Amino acid sequence: MYGLPKILMDKVEKNTSQFYKILKNSLKVKGEEILIISDYGNEDNILAPMLAYGYYTAAKSKKMNVNLLFQDVKKGFMFADDHVVKAIEHLGKNNIVILALSNKLGRFGQENSFRNFCKDQNHRFLSATGLGDVKTAYYQQFMEAMSVNHSRMKKKGYQIKKQWDKAKIIRVKTEAGTDITFDVEGMEAIANIGEYHQPGEGGNMPAGEVYIPPQGYHGVNGVFVIDGSMKTENGAVLLNTPITVHVKEGRVVQLEGEQAHLLEETFQKFEARAKYPDRVRYIAELGVGINPGAVLIGSMILDEKVYGTGHIAIGSNSWFGGAIKTIYHGDQVFKKPIFYIDGVKQEY
């Protein structure tokens, strides 16, 4: 399969039943065409093609109509390879797309959002991107996070969503020094619990978070301390020492910490490319991880799902109900959050 070492192909094939459960339970495949898009990875990491091959072998084992395509590793501003663009454009409505990518899919046609494209075409989808900063050795950790009891996670996710949907102010505190408030009045939380059954639905796999955008631009104030992992331009970074982020009227105004320069450099690089540079440093999201099978490894798609962590994203949130539209979205993970909804402490 495109050059995966046989020892890794054998390892993936041992998990065929787990991949099939995801196709069956998360996507409820019923004869649709399945398009899987991956890339070649790099010498240190071929996790993306391994996951793609896993879905492919599971689909083939049940004689599903599946096509697996590989392309070069892409950054967000680059275009997807021509054969990938053609396959996307020729895929009929009401089908399934699975992404397993070291970085991004890349741009295609006039569409500026993969999610919007799938919504318009009624495609259900799974997405695992940004895997290039994770060593191949973490494959098993991804499988464990994808193989959790999704029904139990669903119950927890909807419990939190129900509370957050009704909230006016959510306050978050940690022993490390986080103390920050979010005005979320009138906003709707999203429970990412791994069920993508309706046309146009899709999301991350591994799943396992609840998140909500703040109201407008200015409804976030306080301090949060990143002591889990940090998303930079070059991927996620497990932190050796904490970074303190000061927020005033929704915007990051000060960074402190030994590795804070990495986040500052990320802001500056995106500001240099953004049409509206002032939007890059606004707070976009408050989230909580609910996946008991996930562990912190330095990959944001997994780190933000870890049970017992919270995360705050900076940048764009327009695609999930927020007011901010920009080219940057970076999640920052912290440990052992305590949540207060309208002054009442919650037990998650």
The tens digit of pLDDT for each residue in 35-65 reads 999 999 887 788 999 999 999 999 999 999 9
Q: What is the pLDDT of residue 111?
A: 60
From 314, 318, 294, 319, select the one nearest 304 (Cα to Cα). 294
Asked whether residue 93 is assigned to any structural domain, the reply reads yes
- pTM for the whole thing? 0.89
Q: What is the pLDDT of residue 137?
A: 86
Q: What is the pLDDT of residue 113?
A: 81
Domain count, the chain: 2
Cis geometry, peptide bond prior to residue 337 (ω within 30 degrees of 0) = no
Q: Are residues 15 and 123 in the same domain?
A: yes
Q: How far apart are CA 201 and CA 262, in angstroms?
A: 34
Asked whether residue 141 is assigned to any structural domain, the reply reads yes
Asked whether residue 249 is assigned to any structural domain, the reply reads yes
**CATH classification of the domain holding 131:** 3.40.50
The tens digit of pLDDT for each residue in 236-292 reads 899 989 999 999 999 999 999 999 999 999 999 999 999 999 999 999 999 999 999
Q: Are residues 107 and 172 in the same domain?
A: no
Which of the residues in the chain have pLDDT under 50? none
Domain boundary (93, 128, 146) is at 146
Q: Which two tokens stand for residue 320?
A: 């999930």
CB of 339 closer than 8 Å to CB of 172: yes
Question: Dihedral angle at the C-alpha atoms of 157, 158, 161, 166, nearest 10 degrees?
Answer: -150
Q: Are residues 137 and 159 in the same domain?
A: no
Q: Are residues 156 and 108 in the same domain?
A: no
Asked whether residue 1 is assigned to any structural domain, the reply reads no
Q: Are residues 195 and 236 in the same domain?
A: yes
Q: Are residues 208 and 316 in the same domain?
A: yes
Q: Are residues 267 and 136 in the same domain?
A: no
Q: Are residues 217 and 124 in the same domain?
A: no
Q: Are residues 21 and 113 in the same domain?
A: yes
Range(s) of the domain holding residue 168: 150-345
From 131, 71, 137, 65, select the one nearest 94 (Cα to Cα). 65
Alpha helix ranges (H) inside the chain: 6-13, 16-21, 47-61, 82-90, 114-121, 139-146, 150-166, 260-273, 300-303
Q: Are residues 80 and 94 in the same domain?
A: yes
Q: Are residues 327 and 259 in the same domain?
A: yes
Q: What is the pLDDT of residue 132?
A: 83
